[in-house]
Structures are given as C-alpha cells and as structure tokens.
A and B are shown apart, each in its own frame.
Chain A
Amino acid sequence: MRDLFYDLVRRNGMAVSIYLMLAVSLWVFILIILPQLTMLDYSFRFNLPPAKIGGPEDVYTLDQYRYFFQGSGASDGLNTLDIGILFKTLLAAVFVTVFDLIICYPVAFVLAKSSTGAKARLLVLALIVPYWINEILRAFAFRILFGATGVINETGMGLGLWDTPIDFIRQDVALYAGLAYAYILLMIFPLYNAIESLDRNQIEAARDMGANWWQVHAKVVIPYAKPGIASGMTMVFMLTSGALAAPQILGGPSNLWFTQLVYQWFNSGGNWPRGSAYAMVLLIVCIALVLLVMRLFKVSIGEIKQ
C-alpha cells in the first residue's frame, strides 16, 4: 500500500496522488462496501417497526434466510416457489449469456480482424448508438415490437406465416430478446479486445496447415480469446441475473425474475431485512456459479482483468 502510494506520487505528484487515493477509497468504501455491509447486516435482523429498532427484540437472526429456504410453513418444508424462481432466473441468465456469446462472437471477430480504420469505427458507432436510448425506453419498445399488434406479429400474419397473434410476452420470447439485447455491448467489447490482439499470422498459419474455418476458431481463436470470453460472459451473466427493468416490463405475467422478488420484499412487502437476505442469496449464488464455471474452464481472475 505504501509502495503503491510512493509510486503514484513519483508518477503524478502529491496533489494528484492524494486525490486519486481519496477518490478511489471513497468510491470503494462509501459506494460499494458500506451499502453492501449494511445490506448484509439488515439481512440478519428481524423486520421490526421503527419504534422497536434498537430495542431488546432487535437481535441477529437467520430467520430471513430460513424463510428463503423453508418458507413460512412447517420447519421441514422447502420454499420451492422462491428457490424455483432463483433457479429459473439463473437458468434464464445462463441461456441469455450463451445466446449473447453466440451472436456476439462473429461480430467481434469481424470487427477485430476484418475491418480497418473508418469502417471499424463506423461499425462500433452503429453498435453504440442504440445505447444512447434509455434502457426502460428500449424495453418498452421491445414490448411494442413483440405485442399482439406489434410489428412482428403484423408482419408474420401479413406474410401468412401464422394466423393468430403469437403471445411473445407470455412465451418469454420478448424477455429473452430484451435481456440479450440489453447487454450485448458488454459481450462484444471484451471479445473484441481479446481477438484484436491475436496475431493474424496465427489464423493464417492454422489455415495453411489444413484447418477449416471451424477448426481455426475452435483451436486457435477461441482458446486465445478465452479470458475475453470469460470476462464478457461474467458481466452479461451478472447483469442479466440482476436485471430488473427488462423482466418487469417484458416478463410474462406468470414468470417472476428473482430480482422482482427482492423488489417486492423491499417495496410492497415492506420487509427490508428479507429483501436484503434475498439480494444476498442472489449475489452469493451468482458469484459462486461464476467462480465454478471459471474453474471448470481453467480461467483465472487475473487473466480476466486484462
């Protein structure tokens, strides 16, 4: 820590170094650690009316977590509803992440290896511009697009592909499409960065030695881009599983996203400790899953941050 500070001072001078250290510590501490710690603290408490907070009943408890696992019923019953929603959310997030990877990889590859200069910049711009539009607005746009009288249904029926409007909302098609779209850039750019630094000759060498295009990607490009893939997948997965706006707007009436449960406990439920406990469960399960997958594919955290 001291060495780091001296190094900073040597490079940037005293004033800038102090500002940097302060700003970063404040950022990390006040904006990340403190709220999360409060949330963690909350999750181990009872939901008490304001008058009783700090009183004799305000003690630590595992009750909120117990509720997530067992519900309000008998002590041996499982809270299948909430646990089910968690798994469904995770599964859907994995699906969205993999789907994003599949559609983003070719884009990132073309961007990194086949386009140069002005053409590449134009492509990047075209990718970014849609994100100048507010996320909620985009979600509503998707709702309209996939609605019973939306463009897709109208076109499909107009072409005679189907007769009655398909309920894309209830089928969760709209939700998956919206989520997949929402974080596409977070997949493309890490992939692009990773692939861009790959020496062109490696691809040509593989071609020359008899590899077909599929083998070039499977044996040369993808192993090389693995840290980028891991980075993109982690971000998309974390953000998708924690998304609220898209599930709220595009989700079918019968399909709850886990974040919506958290939201309900905080808002309509008025039970902040339980909401905190649910949020913690989501966070921990997601981190565990990411670490597990990284372990499985032999990617280290150190590689990802590059």
Chain B
Amino acid sequence: MTKEISLEHVWVEFGEFTAVHKANLNIAGGEFFSFLGPSGCGKTTLLRCISGFQEPTRGKVKIGGQDMRGVGPNKRPTALIFQNLALFPLRSVADNIAFPLEVRGVDKKTRRKRADELLELIALPGQGDKKVSELSGGQKQRVAIARALAVEPDILLLDEPLSALDLKLRQHMRTELRAIQKQVGLTFIYITHDQGEALTMSDRIAVMNKGKIEQIGDGKAIYDHPTTSFVASFVGENNVLDGTVLSNDGKTMKIDAGLGTPFTVENHPAGGPALAPGDACHLFVRPEALRLSKDDSAINQFETNFVTEEFEGNMRHIVMNASGTDLKLSLINDGTNAIDANAPVKLDFAPEMGIALKPGELASA
C-alpha cells in the first residue's frame, strides 16, 4: 500500500523564525523523493511535519488525501528513520525490529516470525539474537530500516540516515536503499545535504534553501536546468559569471559577461523566468561544460591563464583565470588535453551548456 502525500501551503514558524516558507508539493505513491539542501534549510522540519512531530503553523499536510492535523506520530502511516538510527540499545536485534508490533499487542511468536522475515529481507538472517552493539554501522542501518518496515507503513521517512557511515559504505547503502525501495514499493522521503545521494537515488528532488523550496524536479532537470541561482550553485560544481543580457530572441540570448565577445546561450523552456535585454544575470557554466578550444572559430570562446591543477586520476581539475575571475575546468585524463601553463589558453562552451538566470543568492562553497 502506498499513499500520496501533499503539502498545501505549509508554513512552520518558530517565533520570529520561519523554518518552512509556504511549501507546496505532491509526492506520488511509490516515489523516491528527496529533500536536498544545506543544513538549516528547513528540510528536517518539513520531514517532522510529515511524521507528526511538528504541526505546521499554517497549511495542511495530507496523506492519502486525509488531513493529518491533530494526528500524532504514533497514529500516522509513516515510519521515520533517524539520523542516528535510534535503535534501542537494551533490546536485541529481533526485539528492535519487532518493537512496532510489540506496542500494537502482537503476540511473541508472530513478532519473532515477522522479525525473521525482515532480517531475511535486509540480508541479516539468523542475527536476531545479537545485541545491537555487536553490529557494524551498515548492519545497524539495515536493522533500522527493517524496524521501520515492520508494520508495513505507507511512507518511509529517512533523515540523513547515511551521514554517519564512511564513504564506501555510504555508496553501497545508496544502492541497497534504492533496491529495498524497489522491492517493497513504498514511498520513500529522503532528507539529505549530500547531492550525490539525492541525485543517485531519487525519482524527484526538492532543493530547499532558507525554508523555501527552490526547485522540484528529477535529478537531470535539477542538474542540467536549474531554475534559480541557488540551485545552480548548490547542486554540483558551477562557475558563475556576472553578466548583462544584450538580446533575447526567445531561443537564444546574447550575454555580455565582460570576457570579450558576448556569449550565446540557449533559453531553456523549463528554465527560470525569461530574461529581457538589459537585465543583469548570473551566467553558469559547469566545469565539465568548459573545454579547451580546438580552433579559433569556436563559438563562446574566451582567453584564460592557467592558475593551478588538481590531479584526481581519471579527472583533472584545473583552475583558469579569465580577466580576474577564477573558473574551474574538469577534463578527462585521456592524454589529449595538454595545457600550456605559460601562455594564454582559449576555452569555449556550447550554447546549450550555458545557463543564464536572474541574479540570486548563491550557495556558499
């Protein structure tokens, strides 16, 4: 069973402080939906609104079409996985998993059976009698998931559950979480500040900043076609140039970014609000969109000087300077991209790879 969730004009205010600013969205049943944003952006508050630990100041949280106001966290069809997992240290693994059944008065034998089934699901068969402290980080993670699934909730809420794990395990758990979600077919709502997690696992992502939802879309839309400066600078690496729109014919814009010839940038239909000639703008070009010019006739070409290079094996991360602005450039290490450190180097980018947006707040690095 899965239920859709809708947030209708949800505001959460703590005194003067607005934690969530008019959140409006629908999450379909069975979707893997992520809230992505820096710490303090309101994503955890929003999650607490859905799980019932926080009542919105204004607006409605609906689950399966039903208004959840006044329904306590113990009565909602949601299960929350905490950042620190919050497993019960005094209980065995099986007793942890069966806790939701225990409080519902399910008898011991049925509880144990269900716990064993779930241990099977999370690939920890026969480990039910272990103490929680005897498990590794990844195993605890899976036990927390099993515990949340014990009563077959409609919606699983995950509050940065992977942040305590080391990198390798985190990457492994991403795949595993996604697999579990596919297997049980539940709605997963995932909170993270790690864009890698959000992009790899989610069907859709809501990027949040300072209590506001900046953009909702699938990973590709968010990465390739951000609609605000914040999203463009928060998700992935990005170079930002201040520019002015010279012309806009609806399909392409000419933008003067102070680097010689004006740049030609495509308008994207799903992009941000249209820019008119004379408007100031932020021009974003991703490090992987910048390339070394093969010849002098390339479009959007400009001259730069080498600053520094960071070598990462498969990729080379190079910093170039263009008239006082440092630009990051990522090149595949395939032996074809030699850079002369002592002479000007010409770079260019394709018109569809430039993103021009209204100037707005940038994510702090």
A212 and B82 contact, Cβ closer than 8 Å, known pairs A219-B103, A220-B88, A223-B90:
no
Q: In the bound complex, do residue A208 and residue B103 qualify as a contact, i.e. CB atoms below 8 Å apart?
A: no
Q: In the bound complex, do residue A210 and residue B90 qualify as a contact, i.e. CB atoms below 8 Å apart?
A: no
- Give the shortest distance, in Å, between B91 (CB) and chain A (any CB): 8
A202, A210, A215, A224: which has the most chain B beta carbons within 10 Å?
A210
Q: In the bound complex, do residue B74 and residue A212 qualify as a contact, i.e. CB atoms below 8 Å apart?
A: yes
Q: In the bound complex, do residue B151 and residue A209 qualify as a contact, i.e. CB atoms below 8 Å apart?
A: yes
- Give the shortest distance, in Å, between B155 (CB) and chain A (any CB): 11
Q: Does A205 contact B (CB under 8 A)?
A: yes
Q: In the bound complex, do residue B88 and residue A212 qualify as a contact, i.e. CB atoms below 8 Å apart?
A: no
Name A220-278 residues within 8 Å CB distance of B: 220, 223-224
Bits for A195-213, please: 1 = Cβ < 8 Å to B, else 0: 0000101101111111110
State which of B84, B99, B151 has its C-beta within 8 Å of the C-beta of A206.
Answer: B99
Q: In the bound complex, do residue B74 and residue A210 qualify as a contact, i.e. CB atoms below 8 Å apart?
A: yes
Q: Does B243 contact A (CB under 8 A)?
A: no
Q: In the bound complex, do residue A208 and residue B79 qualify as a contact, i.e. CB atoms below 8 Å apart?
A: yes
CA–CA, A209 to B53, complex, Å?
Answer: 12
A210 and B104 contact, Cβ closer than 8 Å, known pairs A204-B73, A219-B99, A224-B90:
yes
Q: Does B51 contact A (CB under 8 A)?
A: yes
Chain B residue at minimum C-beta to C-beta distance from A211: B103
Q: Does B193 contact A (CB under 8 A)?
A: no
B88, B100, B103: which has the most chain A beta carbons within 10 Å?
B103
Q: In the bound complex, do residue B99 and residue A201 qualify as a contact, i.e. CB atoms below 8 Å apart?
A: no
State which of B72, B83, B84, B103 has its C-beta within 8 Å of the C-beta of A209.
Answer: B103
- Give the shortest distance, in Å, between A236 (CB) and chain B (any CB): 24
Q: Does B338 contact A (CB under 8 A)?
A: no
Residues of A within 8 A of B80 (CB): 204-205, 208
Residues of A within 8 A of B78 (CB): 208
Give how many A residues have a beta carbon under 8 Å from the other chain's beta carbons.
17
CA–CA, A206 to B74, complex, Å?
Answer: 8
Name B62-110 residues within 8 Å CB distance of A: 72-75, 78-80, 82-84, 86, 88, 90, 99-100, 102-104
- Give the shortest distance, in Å, between B142 (CB) and chain A (any CB): 16
Give how many B residues have a beta carbon under 8 Å from the other chain's beta carbons.
25
Bits for A116-128, please: 1 = Cβ < 8 Å to B, else 0: 0000000000000
Chain A residue at minimum C-beta to C-beta distance from B102: A219
Q: Does B282 contact A (CB under 8 A)?
A: no
State which of A208, A210, A220, A223 has its C-beta within 8 Å of the C-beta of B51.
Answer: A208
Q: In the bound complex, do residue A209 and residue B82 qualify as a contact, i.e. CB atoms below 8 Å apart?
A: no
Chain A residue at minimum C-beta to C-beta distance from B95: A219
Q: In the bound complex, do residue B151 and residue A202 qualify as a contact, i.e. CB atoms below 8 Å apart?
A: no
Residues of B within 8 A of A199 (CB): 84, 86
- Give the shortest distance, in Å, between A113 (CB) and chain B (any CB): 14
Q: In the bound complex, do residue A211 and residue B74 qualify as a contact, i.e. CB atoms below 8 Å apart?
A: yes
Name B341-363 residues within 8 Å CB distance of A: none
Q: In the bound complex, do residue B88 and residue A202 qualify as a contact, i.e. CB atoms below 8 Å apart?
A: yes
Q: Does B212 contact A (CB under 8 A)?
A: no
Q: In the bound complex, do residue B99 and residue A207 qualify as a contact, i.e. CB atoms below 8 Å apart?
A: no
Chain A residue at minimum C-beta to C-beta distance from B51: A208
Q: Does B60 contact A (CB under 8 A)?
A: no
Q: In the bound complex, do residue A210 and residue B82 qualify as a contact, i.e. CB atoms below 8 Å apart?
A: no
Q: In the bound complex, do residue B88 and residue A209 qualify as a contact, i.e. CB atoms below 8 Å apart?
A: no
CA–CA, A81 to B159, complex, Å?
Answer: 65
Q: In the bound complex, do residue B151 and residue A205 qualify as a contact, i.e. CB atoms below 8 Å apart?
A: no
Q: In the bound complex, do residue B84 and residue A207 qualify as a contact, i.e. CB atoms below 8 Å apart?
A: no
Q: In the bound complex, do residue A209 and residue B90 qualify as a contact, i.e. CB atoms below 8 Å apart?
A: no
CA–CA, A211 to B98, complex, Å?
Answer: 12
Q: Does B286 contact A (CB under 8 A)?
A: no
CA–CA, A69 to B185, complex, Å?
Answer: 73
Chain B residue at minimum C-beta to C-beta distance from A201: B86
Chain A residue at minimum C-beta to C-beta distance from B148: A209
Q: Does B147 contact A (CB under 8 A)?
A: yes
- Give the shortest distance, in Å, between B280 (CB) and chain A (any CB): 46
CA–CA, A205 to B147, complex, Å?
Answer: 10
Bits for B121-136, please: 1 = Cβ < 8 Å to A, else 0: 0000000000000000
CA–CA, A206 to B104, complex, Å?
Answer: 12
State which of B53, B75, B100, B148 has its C-beta within 8 Å of the C-beta of A204.
Answer: B53
Residues of A within 8 A of B151 (CB): 209-210
State which of A201, A211, A219, A220 has its C-beta within 8 Å of the C-beta of B84.
Answer: A201
- Give the shortest distance, in Å, between B163 (CB) and chain A (any CB): 14
Residues of B within 8 A of A208 (CB): 51-53, 73-74, 78-80
**Could you list which residues of chain A lie within 8 angstroms of chain B, going by C-beta atoms?**
199, 201-202, 204-212, 215, 219-220, 223-224
> Nearest 3 pairs between A and B by C-beta?
A201-B86, A205-B86, A209-B100
20 contacts between A and B (CB under 8 A): A199-B84, A202-B86, A204-B80, A204-B86, A205-B80, A205-B82, A205-B86, A205-B88, A206-B99, A208-B74, A208-B79, A209-B148, A209-B150, A210-B74, A210-B100, A210-B151, A211-B74, A215-B103, A219-B102, A220-B88
- 20 further A-B pairs in the complex, CB-CB below 8 A; given A201-B82, A210-B100, A212-B74: A201-B83, A201-B84, A201-B86, A204-B73, A204-B82, A205-B80, A205-B86, A206-B99, A206-B103, A207-B53, A208-B74, A208-B78, A208-B80, A209-B74, A209-B147, A209-B148, A209-B150, A209-B151, A219-B102, A223-B90
